[in-house]
Amino acid sequence: MSRPRTLFEKIWRRHLVAAEAEGLPATLYVDLHLVHEVTSPQAFTELAERGLPVRRPDLTLATMDHSTPTDPSIDDARLRVLDPEGSAQLDRLQANCERHGIPLYAMGDERRGIVHVIGPELGATQPGMTVVCGDSHTSTHGAVGALAFGIGTSEVGHVLATQCLLQHRPKTYEVRVDGRLQEGVVAKDIILAVIARLGIGGGTGHVFEYTGEAIRALDMEGRMTVCNMSIEGGARAGLIAPDDVTFAYLEGRPMAPAGDAWEAAVDDWRSLPTDDGAAYDRTTTLDGSALEPMVTYGTNPGMAIPIAGAVPEDDAIEPEKRASFRKALDYMALEPGQQLQGKPIDVVFVGSCTNSRYSDLVAAANVLRGRKVADGLRVLIVPGSDAVKRQAERDGLAQVFVDAGAEWREAGCSMCLAMNGDQLAPGQYAVSTSNRNFEGRQGAGGRTFLASPLTAAASAITGRVTDVREVLS
Amino acid sequence: MSKSFTRFTGSMAPLPIQNVDTDQIIPASYLKVTDRSGLASGLFSRWRYRDGDPEGEPIADFVLNRPEHGDARILLAGDNFGCGSSREHAPWALVGYGFRAVISTSFADIFRSNALKNGLLVVPVTEDVSASLFDAVAADPATEVTIDLKARTLGLPGGGETNFEVDPFARRCLLDGTDQLGYLLNQAPSIQAFEAAHPARLDTRSA
């Protein structure tokens, strides 16, 4: 009988082409490499310069998402005029994928969407896999029990050429969330509370594994929201053990195993969860039943408070961190001790790889149904994939948004990182379901309050930062 | 772009801000490039220029615009430097500007990995050393330190030195120019054996 192991250890060991040795990193095999237009061109150039092929195009999947327009009126011809650089980058991805035989979901393809939405949606990301992408939110795929993490462009080249990465083994960090969530508190609130607790560098050098009753009770899309923001806590990856919820989600998806292979896969996946008695390097526990809807007030995702709370006072901040705290409040034009609830906003953004899946749109639509967005407020609803968009249109969600006065857009990363023209104007405030409230992230001078889709929808109705429980009661 | 590093002596540009994210180092609007060059003007552009526009007016009190730090090739930064996005454009921009090293009490994982692959040395120091360096630069902007990768030492102003940790493999690559991709390509037989023993459960061309 081998010693008890964590989920992370089991996946790590299964993928070792070469273990770590004195002074040398491990060589880790990659089961799925996801590629998008922004972080890949220089990697393909490196391969071209060395005359190297892509080793496993059949384990590589490319999509266009970061800089693609979400305004339905912008077609390819118009994009070439509006954004020649972005267009050229999309062309480059297309050419690179054609040259190497990599499947690419280009503009107009029904399978296209945000890379971290389509991976699970297609059943491409599966339990026990290693998944990488030149994108820090690759941690999302940990929700199915895969070891998934973001890499730089040099490493994108390494994986294209060898299907492997040189890695040092990270430490493990159990993030346990016990108890049952209150009404109006959802996956986004869990992860914002975790990051507020641990700090945005708290998970550096570690892989999170989320455990506990509140995590187990989440559906797959909620688990994706939690794992997605692991990187905002400094951890490159976040994992949730696969269970019947995972298997039910994956069964029948286009790239998931089928027939006998499905049965064999599920048998194998059942052996993945952390063994009783396995040790983590660190553990922290939160009481899920005590969590409130969360909202950020500052310029990193760790600067979050319960929605009924107030911005901290100076003396609650450690002295050496006060200058950065003050800089953040200056940028946000907020005062210590100020309440956020009731703060007027200019924009609401529902979207991003954190919160753009079907259940996120259902949550927002349930709040907005039969109501109107506040006068003068801009509300963007950006589905995470073309498939999510079609489903929302079929099921009437899109009409709920349109009737409420929101903009119903094409799939893409959109205002999460504001590369595609969807952006805040200087000084504007947004309630956003995305993952980063960094200075200028959603547009130069723009100010972001990160929150859940419920909070975003409630705030859309009032035009102010709003506790969804007040709207629903 | 040089990907080697042995020893460097120089002055420091102080950026006493914690959690500097890669969106600040290089905003997303610069990520539409298809090569690694031309990013230097975008480095810290939102803090460096009025309205973030490199054609516009420089913001006088930002460290890179202060004449006394114009020659600095070492960035002295606050804790958790390089958090956020995985964009390798961040070290490309720092290197493009001329930085050879960043000193901080800690670095985000992906940034650290990206930096070391581009000849940009990350030098982790204790809070005490960090504080003393910020004090020294405040007292005299020309204060120099010496980073010796071979010895893994940081030579401090006024004498004395402190050791720093660096990934031994990255160190070897920087010192002797070992090419990481070449190192991986040499493992082709092991990779092939691994693939033979672990048939893939997935074919991305199947959907």
Residues 6+ apart with CB under 8 A from A311: A297, A305, A329, A334, A335, A336, A337, A338, A339, A340
Ramachandran angles phi, psi of B6, nearest 5°: -125, -65
A248: how many CB neighbours lie within 10 A of its CB? 11
**Residue A442 to residue B25: CA distance in whole angstroms:** 15
A174: left (phi over 0), alpha (psi -120 to 50) or beta: beta
Subunit contact B34:A46, Cβ cutoff 8 A? no
Segment A143-171 shows an average pLDDT of: 98
**pLDDT tens digit sequence for A298-307:** 999 999 999 9
B122 pLDDT above the threshold of 50:
yes
* Cβ neighbours of residue A439 closer than 8 Å, sequence gap 6 or more: A299, A331, B23, B24, B46
Strand order in the sheet with B74-77: B121-124, B101-104, B74-77, B7-15, B144-148, B153-155, B161-163
Quick one: what percent of chain B has pLDDT higher than 90? Answer: 92
CA distances from B34 to A25, A87, A403, A414 (A): 29, 11, 41, 20
CB contact under 8 A, A39 and B29: no
Q: What is the pLDDT of residues B135-177, one digit of tens each?
A: 999 999 999 999 999 999 999 998 999 999 999 999 999 999 8
Interface probe with A: pick from B19, B61, B107, B195, most Cβ of A within 10 Å: B19
Q: What is the pLDDT of residues A197-221, one digit of tens each?
A: 999 999 999 999 999 999 999 999 9
Q: Is the dihedral angle over the CA atoms A132, A114, A219, A224 positive or is it negative? A: positive
**Max Cα-Cα span within chain B:** 65
Question: Is residue A61 within 8 angstroms of chain B, CB to CB?
Answer: yes
Query: Does residue A195 belong to the interface with chain B, where contact is any CB pair within 8 Å?
Result: no
Express each pLDDT in A339-353 by its tens digit: 999 999 999 999 999
Q: How far is CA A160 from the centre of its chain?
A: 23
Distance CA B23, CA B20 (A): 8
Output the pLDDT for position A472: 86
At B2, the pLDDT band (50, 70, 90 cuts) reads: low
Q: Does B130 touch chain A (CB under 8 A)?
A: no
Asked if the Cβ–Cβ distance from B46 to A257 is below 8 Å, we say no
Strand partners, A207: A172, A237
Task: Report the distance separating Cα A350 and Cα A70, nearest Å.
Answer: 13
Q: In which band, very low, low, confident or very high, does the pLDDT at B207 lie, cut at 50, 70 and 90?
A: confident
Distance CA A95, CA A429 (A): 39
Nearest-neighbour CA in chain A from B146: distance (Å): 24
Give residue A453's pLDDT.
98
pLDDT of amino acid B177: 87
Among B76, B1, B89, B188, which residue's Cα sits nearest to residue A29?
Answer: B188
In the numeric block, which tokens belong to residue A3? Answer: 């010693």
Mutate to test the interface with B, among A34, A87, A324 (most CBs of B within 10 A): A324
- Nearest chain B Cα distance for residue A422, angstroms: 12
List, as one string, the DSSP characters of B23-77.
HHHS-GGGTT-SSS-S-GGGTTHHHHBGGG-TTS-B-TTSGGGSGGGTT--EEEE
CA distance B142 to chain A (A): 24
| Amino acid in position B128 | D
Question: Please, which pLDDT band fits residue B1 given cuts at 50, 70 and 90?
Answer: very low
pLDDT digits (tens, 9 = 90+) for A240-251: 999 999 999 999
What are phi and psi for residue B107, nearest 5 degrees? -130, 145
Instruction: State the average pLDDT over residues A166-184.
Output: 98
Look-up: residue for tokens 């913001």?
Answer: B59
Q: Does A323 touch chain B (CB under 8 A)?
A: yes
Q: Find the mean pLDDT for residues A376-381.
A: 98
Contact A154 B32 (CB under 8 A): no
Q: Which residues of B are less than 8 Å from A265 in CB distance?
A: 201
Burial (0-12, 13-18, 19+ Cβ within 10 Å), A333: exposed
A50 CB neighbours in chain B (<8 A) are 181
Looking at this predicted complex, what is its ipTM? 0.97
For residue A466, pLDDT over 50 is answered with yes
> Residue for token digits 């995985």?
B86
User: Could you report the per-residue pLDDT of B14-52, keeping only the tens digit for each?
Assistant: 999 999 999 999 999 999 999 999 999 999 999 999 989
A48 contact partners, CB below 8 Å, separation of at least 6: none
A327 contacts on B by Cβ (under 8 Å): 17
Q: Which of B32, B44, B46, B152 to mutate to test the interface with A (most CBs of A within 10 A)?
A: B32
Name the one residue in this structure whose structure tokens are 């994956």.
Answer: A250
Tell me, what's the pLDDT at A220? 98
Cβ distance of B80 and A234 shorter than 8 Å: yes
Tokens of A350: 């529902």
* Cβ–Cβ < 8 Å for A105, B181: no
What 8-state DSSP symbol labels residue B156? P
Closest residue by Cα to residue A436 from A335, A349, A318: A349
Residue with tokens 């006394």: B68
Position A118, amino acid = I
- Residue A327 touches partner B, C-beta closer than 8 Å: yes
Distance CA A397, CA A362 (A): 7
Mean pLDDT for all residues in chain B:
96
